[in-house]
Amino acid sequence: MSEDQGTPQDVGPEELEPTGVAAADSALDRLRDLDTAALEDHVEIFDDVHRRLHDALAELDDEQ
């Protein structure tokens, strides 16, 4: 990958477009809170995002 293409580390959640998947978009919205949240609140935000995505995947498994 060339330098001008960037890397995944260069892309923040504020630059990502909505996916159309409600659970994923909700998780992205929550990640955007990192920009304004105090550093000590980051773990709580990451835990919340993890829970949201985990629950969404569990719901998909239940549907099958």
Determine the number of helices (DSSP H) and then strands (DSSP E) in the chain: 2, 0
For 38-41, which contacts have Cβ atoms below 8 Å and span 24 or more sequence positions? none
Contact (Cβ atoms closer than 8 angstroms) between residue 32 and residue 13: yes
Q: ∠ at Cα 20 (47, 27), nearest 5°? A: 10
Helix 42-63 / helix 22-32 crossing angle, nearest 10 deg: 180
Contact (Cβ atoms closer than 8 angstroms) between residue 49 and residue 30: yes
| pTM of the entire predicted model | 0.71
Instruction: Express each pLDDT in 8-63 by its tens digit.
Output: 566 666 677 888 989 999 999 999 999 899 999 999 999 999 999 999 999 988 88
- 1 pLDDT band, cuts 50/70/90, is very low
pLDDT surpassing 60 at residue 4: no
